[in-house]
Amino acid sequence: MSYAYLFKYIIIGDTGVGKSCLLLQFTDKRFQPVHDLTIGVEFGARMINIDGKQIKLQIWDTAGQESFRSITRSYYRGAAGALLVYDITRRETFNHLASWLEDARQHANPNMTIMLIGNKSDLTHRRAVTTEEGEQFAKEHGLVFLETSAKTAHNVEEAFINTARKIYEKIEQGVFDVSNESYGIKVGYGAGGSAGGTVRPGDPAPAKSSSCC
Amino acid sequence: MNVLGKVARGVGGYIVGAEGGKSEAESVQQYLQRISDGDNPEERQDAVAELRDLLEGRPEAQAALGNGGFPVLINALRNERGDLELVRGVLECLVIAVQPGERESHRQGPDSNAINAELLAKSPDTVPMLLGFLDEEPAGIKDFYVRYHTVQLLTALAAGGPYRLQGAILAAPMGVVRLMDLLGDSHEVIRNEAILLLSGLTRSSADIQKIVAFEGAFERVLQILEEEGWSQGGIIVQDCTELLNNLLRNNPANQLMFRETGHLSKFASLLQIPERSRRGIPRQVAANLLSALATLSLLITPTPPNVKKQDKAQEESWAANRATLMKQGALGLLLALALAHGGVASPPVRGQALVCLERLISAMPQYKEALMSAKVIGSTEAELPALQAILQTALRSRDVEEATAAEHVLQAFCRDNAEGQRMLAATLTPVGDTSAESMRGSAGTFGGELVSALMGPDARATARAAAVLADLLRGNAACKQQVLATPLEIPQTATSEPVLLLPQCCRYLSLALSSGRHGDAGISLAVCSILRLLITWAQDCPPAIDALLMPAGRIPMLLDLTQHKFGARQVACTGLAAVLLGVCLLYSTPTQPADSQQERVTTAVLSDIISSRIGLAAFFGLLDALKQDPHFVQAASGPTASKPTARSGQARDEGDSSLASSTAGGAAGENPFDYEFAEWLPGFVDQVHRLSMEGLRRPSNEAALAEYAHGADELQSARAQIVDQQRELEELRKRLSQSNGAASNGSSQKAEQEAVERISAAEARARQAEAKTSQAEAGVRQAEASTAAAQAEVNTLRGLLEASEREAMQLRKAAEEALAAAAKLEADLEGLSGAYNSLETHSFTLEARLRQLESSAGSLQQGAAAVSATKAPAEDEEDGEDDDGMNDLLICLGQEEQKVERLRAKLEELGVDVDSLLEGIGNDENDGEDADDADGNEHDLT
């Protein structure tokens, strides 16, 4: 249960692009072809490993419908990463990306890492948005880009892990004040460390145990 | 100015009648005016301060402020936010006006503060503006008092109109996020207020619950709990736990997050208690523990049996929570709270811990095993198995809820746990078996304590012991047989019979019958409980039925039980005795085994005894009455779901509920039934019903049964007939009203005939139905007669026949009613046809008169023709000279015509006189009888 860092993610994008399926594939490694519409927000969690560090991902899967926008916006500020998802077989979901980005820029913290995801890559025969278009959009807006398939699990791990890696890099570079939990990052007790004290906002991140040297 | 004046007048008018209200309302209005129009900041600040003093403790003034005053104050907040003094004061005024005050309960009328809260939350700008104050500078206001009063105001709004405030906060961008920041406020006072505010907001909004959890509420709340000293802390601990409860209640996503992030293990600290808690704990600590146990219960509540369909995600979440909690040592924590050294010194906390324990282990074999091997230091400071300590609580607790909770733990442990039942049943060793006792030490054994309570002098302990013993035996044939044979005492001599458990139970029942303490609630509860034990025991266990029924005097005793007066629990006791007889009936041997040494009580014999001694109708009456028993109805409604509680209530409740349950909840309040029994009973009654009807089909009863069936058939057909007839009558009535309409139009002949036909048909049918009914009656009487012959079933059939007689009576009455309706219809038709006849006669005479009139008119015309005939030649000859004569003639004619006119008029009025008159004229002229002849004459003449 112990982890070095905890990252909070949100998954955003139009309704029906496969956000909940991506989450389910990532947390439970299964695909559910028929999925109820997400009401409000759902939650998932998984532990991953980057450079030997245990990182806990907490992922909030939001409802894509317009009527839930005001609720889902409340999740932007506290997230360290966002997966912005569109459906490669439905062009309109690609066209709406700009408005999602605008929402995110307005409400999220400026350091939030956004990964652009073109989902349903298994449906090549119905493709309506080319890979190049996706890449182009990502490049223009400074996003990381991947095409995934929640059905075949293609690139799903990578989507979540690459985002985590990006955030981790930013931490290493000192972009974040990790003691401020409102960035969606929490410093854990480190691998192997038994549950000690708690991290209070304002406290420095717990120093790595030096007594053993 | 003008607007304010109007507002003031309105306010004044509204308040009239309240004591001193007018002047207060006027003052409020004056202050508002000064706040809005004051020339300098000082004056406005003073006005606000004075307004605040006026509002404090004066509901009328608060109501007056709400009635139109808010826009002024909101305006002041918006336009003069730089004036900290003013903003603080205005916020304070608003808090006073919307905070739910301690209203005296006798005060009438709506809660003006709740109305104020609704009003204030309704205006669209208010909540965003208030949230804005809480923001970081420059958007927000850093001042402590401004922030403090703003949070207070929002909390009051949440209490007054939660849904409106929830909506407003969700609609505001980052609304919840801003409130969450308050949990980290450096001022503890603001943090504490924020806990209350968030608790109020999360109570009913899943969206806000999730956002609050997302923003790290779990970490923060657990951190505060730790800072406050966990369960030993003050009311902040209780507030935090309630916020936690609101975040987790029915919210699988948040439960997953709580679990996945390792918060559950930290949460367990909340259930830890220091050693000294055994002696006595402060009320607040008890409230904290109760709240924490409520959290635990939210996390592990398995689907109650009465809830058919549950959210799958929630189910999975509960199972996962239980697994995690077991790993975190929740079992040990609960045992420590409930049992160790006698448990925490608070019966409600111990009871709630036992409820959680039951939920934790239910339907999970491995958790049950863990419980079975668990040991605790009991109240006597000796180590004993946890299950035995739980039994002690179940038997001895003076708190009914705690005892019931303990019994439920044992019940949950035994359910679908044959091995566990066997292990516990094996401890039912003989009392006085010193070898066993010395091995167990002074604490005794599970079975030993159970038996001594069952046989002991305390009726309530007996009742509870019987319930536990029933748990041990339920659905486990091996256990039932084993306990049947277990001796309770080692026989003193080799020749004396061993004392067995089941006969002891029966002896208790017969003592209860003869004791004369009929009104004793404890005794009747014990009787109920022992009967339920025997019911459980006898099910699917013929040896137990033999042991129950074969000894002399047992059947009469059971029969006596069904008719005994037991006071308050009369229905339950007699009903359960009937259920026990029913179980014996259902599971007894259908035939006498050839090889049996002793004569056994067969189904047929028992059935005969029941029907002759109680009567089947009375027997089923007892079972039906049982289903109406209030305790039974309560048990059938099943366990109730947990609901959010308000903070203020809980601490009080803790102290009071222990009192309440120990006084009002004594033996009289204990429910001898539970949900499972309530679920089982209806199906069982059906089974017994079917069985006893089959019993009636035995040869000796066949004739009576056939008679009865025949009578029933007759009744059936007669009833059908009458239904038909009623329909016919209905149709007739409809047609009649139609034919009435037709008759008034003058062409009712056919309709009338039809109606008459139908009436007679209806009559015939009514007679037929009557005949059928009497036939049916005869059949019933016949059946009665033949049933009287069949002596064994006399009671039942009489009951059934009475019912059929009543039915026949109803049918007879219905037939009579139908007949009466038919007669009435006939009378109506008769009246109608009479009216029609007279109408016809009238029209006939009219016709006759018309003919006469026409004939007389014809003769007149003849006269006139004759005149003109004579006139024409005269004209030719005299060339218009005889004008006078002509005129005379014409006058004569005119007069004649006038006469005819008058006659006609008279004819219409009087008739007879004119008739004769006209007849005279007719005779004078000619004998023409009809107008055609008269016409013919006329033609001839022309």
pLDDT band at A196 (very low <50, low <70, confident <90, very high): very low
Region B453-478 average pLDDT: 91
Q: What is the SS3 string spanning B684-723? A: HHHHHHHHHHHHHCCHHHHHHHHHHHHHHHHHHHHHHHHH
Region B28-54 average pLDDT: 89
Instruction: Enter the DSSP assignment of A83.
Output: E
Chain B residue with CA closest to A70: the answer is B171
How many angstroms separate the CA atoms of B758 and B821, rounded?
13
Q: What is the per-residue pLDDT for B355?
A: 94
Interchain proximity B175–A73, CB inside 8 Å:
no
How many angstroms separate the CA atoms of A26 and B363, rounded?
31
What is the percentage of chain B residues whose pLDDT exceeds 70?
74
pLDDT at B520 over 70: yes
Cα of B273 to nearest chain A Cα, Å: 20
pLDDT at B878 over 60: no
Beta bridge partners of B845: none
Would you state the structure tokens that stand for residue B285, as one six-digit string? 């600590």
Least CB-CB distance to B174: which of A2, A6, A74? A74
**Longest Cα separation, chain B:** 168
Question: Among A178-192, B64-78, B286-300, where is mean pLDDT lowest?
Answer: A178-192
> In B, which residues are within 8 Å of A8 by CB distance?
214
How many angstroms separate the CA atoms of B340 and B335, rounded?
6
CB B335 within 8 A of CB B357: yes
Q: Touching check for B896 and chain A: CB below 8 Å?
A: no
Q: Could you read off the pLDDT of B681-699 as tens digits, one per residue?
A: 999 999 888 887 776 666 5
What is the percentage of chain A residues whose pLDDT exceeds 90?
64
Question: Among A104-118, B474-488, B690-704, B835-849, where is mean pLDDT lowest?
Answer: B690-704
Right CATH number for A5-187 from 3.30.1230.10, 3.40.1670.10, 3.40.1410.10, 3.40.50.300?
A: 3.40.50.300
> In B, which residues are within 8 Å of A41 by CB distance?
207, 210-211, 214, 253
Interchain proximity A45–B256, CB inside 8 Å:
yes
Give which of B136, B205, B211, B264 to mutate to test A binding, by max A Cβ within 10 Å: B211
How many angstroms separate the CA atoms of B292 and B635, rounded?
27
pLDDT at B871 over 80: no
Question: Among B144-158, B249-263, B326-340, B691-705, where is mean pLDDT lowest?
Answer: B691-705
Beta bridge partners of B384: B376
CB B739 within 8 A of CB B752: yes
At residue A192, φ and ψ (nearest 5 deg) are 85, -20
Cα of B171 to nearest chain A Cα, Å: 6
What residue segments make up the domains of chain A, in order of their start? 5-187
Q: What is the per-residue pLDDT for B326?
A: 92
Region B43-55 average pLDDT: 91
Instruction: Enter the DSSP assignment of A147.
Output: E
How many angstroms separate the CA atoms of B134 and B181, rounded?
9
Q: What is the per-residue pLDDT for B464?
A: 93
> In A, which residues are within 8 Å of B211 by CB distance?
41, 71, 74-75
Interchain proximity B214–A195, CB inside 8 Å:
no
Beta bridge partners of A144: A115
How many angstroms separate the CA atoms of B825 and B739, rounded?
13
Q: What is the per-residue pLDDT for B17?
A: 42
Interface of B with A in 742-761 (CB under 8 A): none
- Which string of DSSP letters, residue by residue, matches B236-253? HHHHHHHHHHHHHTT-HH
**B70 burial level (CB within 10 Å; 0-12, 13-18, 19+):** buried
Region B546-556 average pLDDT: 88
pLDDT at B932 over 70: no
pLDDT at B880 over 60: no
Q: Touching check for B227 and chain A: CB below 8 Å?
A: no
How many angstroms separate the CA atoms of A150 and B404, rounded?
51
Q: What is the per-residue pLDDT for B863?
A: 64
Q: What is the per-residue pLDDT for B901?
A: 78
Question: Among B477-491, B811-825, B900-914, where is mean pLDDT lowest?
Answer: B900-914
CA Rg, chain A, in Å? Answer: 18
pLDDT at A200 over 50: no
Q: What is the per-residue pLDDT for B868?
A: 66
pLDDT band at A133 (very low <50, low <70, confident <90, very high): very high
Instruction: Enter the DSSP assignment of A154.
Output: B
Residues from A contacting B (CB-CB < 8 Å) are 1-2, 6, 8, 40-45, 56, 58, 60, 70-71, 73-75, 77-78, 107, 181-182, 186, 195, 198, 200-201
Region A9-33 average pLDDT: 93
Interchain proximity A45–B207, CB inside 8 Å:
no
pLDDT at B882 over 90: no
Q: Which amino acid appears at position B365 of this protein?
A: P
Q: What is the per-residue pLDDT for B776?
A: 65
Q: How many CA atoms lie within 13 A of A71 on its CB side?
A: 24
pLDDT at B660 over 70: no
In B315-440, which ranges are E strands?
A: 375-377, 383-385
What is the percentage of chain B residues whose pLDDT exceeds 90?
26
Q: What is the per-residue pLDDT for B939?
A: 47
Bigger pLDDT: B390 or B607? Answer: B390
Buried b / exposed e along B221-244 (16+ C-beta atoms within 10 A):
bbbbbeebebbbbebbbbbbbbbb
Bigger pLDDT: B2 or B78? Answer: B78
Q: What is the SS3 string spanning B541-573? A: CHHHHHHHHCCCCHHHHHHHHHHCCCHHHHHHH
C-alpha distance from residue B107 to each of B18, B59, B112, B381, B441 (Å): 12, 11, 11, 54, 63
How many angstroms separate the CA atoms of A171 and A191, rounded?
17
pLDDT at B528 over 60: yes
Interchain proximity B226–A198, CB inside 8 Å:
yes
Tell me how many residue pairs between chain A and chain B have CB atoms under 8 A apart.
Answer: 73
How many angstroms separate the CA atoms of A162 and A164, rounded?
5
pLDDT band at A98 (very low <50, low <70, confident <90, very high): very high
Would you state the structure tokens that stand for residue B370, as one six-digit string? 């863990």
Helix (H) or strand (E) holding B369: helix B365-373
Beta bridge partners of A58: A8, A45
pLDDT at A202 over 50: no
Interchain proximity A71–B207, CB inside 8 Å:
yes
Q: What's the CA angle centered on B274, arms B270 and B280, to 5 degrees?
A: 105
Sequence-distant (6+) residues with CB within 8 A of B149 are: B88, B91, B92, B94, B95
Q: Which residue has the tokens 């009913």?
A: B204
Looking at mean pLDDT, say which of B14-28, B98-112, B690-704, B854-868 comes out highest: B854-868
Is the bond preceding residue B138 a cis peptide, omega within 30 degrees? Answer: yes
Mean pLDDT across chain A, nearest whole number? Answer: 86
Q: How many CA atoms lie within 13 A of B689 on its CB side?
A: 13
How many angstroms separate the CA atoms of A75 and A73, rounded?
5
How many angstroms separate the CA atoms of B213 and A60, rounded?
11
How many angstroms separate the CA atoms of A157 and B229, rounded?
42
3-state helix, strand, coil in chain A (%, to 5): 30, 25, 45
pLDDT at B636 over 50: yes
Bigger pLDDT: B128 or B663? Answer: B128
pLDDT at B876 over 60: no
Helix (H) or strand (E) holding A5: strand A5-13
pLDDT band at B846 (very low <50, low <70, confident <90, very high): confident
pLDDT at B726 over 60: yes
Q: Which residue has the tokens 């009497």?
A: B774
Least CB-CB distance to A1: which of B214, B216, B262? B262
pLDDT at B434 over 80: no
CB B471 within 8 A of CB B414: yes
Interchain proximity B170–A201, CB inside 8 Å:
no
pLDDT at A13 over 80: yes
Interchain proximity A77–B223, CB inside 8 Å:
no
CB B500 within 8 A of CB B488: yes
Mean pLDDT across chain B, nearest whole number? Answer: 79
At residue A78, φ and ψ (nearest 5 deg) are -85, 10
Sequence-distant (6+) residues with CB within 8 A of B369 are: none
Looking at mean pLDDT, say which of A65-69, B421-425, B752-756, B894-898 comes out highest: B421-425
**Longest Cα separation, chain A:** 60
Would you state the structure tokens that stand for residue B448, as one six-digit string? 């030993």
pLDDT at B18 over 90: no
CB A117 within 8 A of CB A85: yes
Would you state the structure tokens that stand for residue B515, as one six-digit string? 């004791």
Q: At what angle do helices B347-361 and B386-396 cross, to 10 degrees?
A: 130
| Residue B816 CA from chain centroid, whole number | 40
Residue among B420, B312, B435 nearest B362 (CA): B420
Sequence-distant (6+) residues with CB within 8 A of B709 are: none
Sequence-distant (6+) residues with CB within 8 A of B573 are: B524, B527, B528, B531, B561, B564, B566
How many angstroms separate the CA atoms of B137 and B149, rounded?
17
**A33 burial level (CB within 10 Å; 0-12, 13-18, 19+):** exposed
| Residue B300 CA from chain centroid, whole number | 28
Instruction: Enter the DSSP assignment of A199.
Output: P
Would you state the structure tokens that stand for residue B96, as one six-digit string? 């006073």
Question: Among A37-51, B158-172, B533-547, B740-754, where is mean pLDDT lowest?
Answer: B740-754
CB B272 within 8 A of CB B230: yes
pLDDT band at A10 (very low <50, low <70, confident <90, very high): very high
Q: What is the per-residue pLDDT for B599?
A: 72
The sign of the dihedral angle between the CA atoms of B122, B123, B127, B130 is negative
Q: Which amino acid appears at position B14 of this protein?
A: Y
Sequence-distant (6+) residues with CB within 8 A of B836 are: B743, B748, B749, B752
